[in-house]
Amino acid sequence: MENILKEFERDQKELIHILHRVQEEFGYVSPPAISAIAKHLKISENEIYSVLTFYKAFSLEPRGKHIVTVCMGTACHVRGAPRLVDDASREMGVDVGQTTPDKHFTLETVNCLGCCAIGPVVVVDGKYHSYVKRMDSIIKEYSEGR
């Protein structure tokens, strides 16, 4: 953590950059990391928590190796997204927002990714899968090493 903080000036304007860097390095922003950042920038931990909870890009808990995001926006919803969420949830054994015990998958949903014409859309680790009909093949594709 100290090595990361050394990359940034002790300026509150650096907060978002530091949080992104920590998220990138550890996959989430832990309570000890929050304390260290607060000390480094001389701001309160509460200020950091409010930023962390405002932006969906940050996680306060460890996430899986693969982030599976099912779009639940209106267009994807009417094309079967709820069933995809149910199937993914059953395949992984977790609810939306949770990570599998082996930390392999995290299941999330989002409200519209801005590409409704190719829905239903599922994004895994930033890769878009369009016109998705089944989740089992997608999950199998990312299950290697599990």
Site residues (CB under 6 A) for ligand FES?
A: 71, 73-76, 112-116, 119, 121
| Least Cβ distance, residue 84 to ligand FES (angstroms) | 11
| Least Cβ distance, residue 113 to ligand FES (angstroms) | 4
Residue nearest to ligand FES (CB): 73
* H-type alpha helices, the chain: 2-6, 15-26, 31-41, 45-54, 74-78, 81-92, 136-141
Element holding 70 (H helix, E strand): strand 66-71
Q: Which is nearer to ligand FES, 36 or 113 (CB)?
A: 113
Q: Which is nearer to ligand FES, 22 or 121 (CB)?
A: 121
Separation CA 144–CA 60 (nearest Å): 26
| Least Cβ distance, residue 128 to ligand FES (angstroms) | 9
Q: Which two tokens stand for residue 92?
A: 């992984």
Q: Which two tokens stand for residue 117?
A: 């014409």
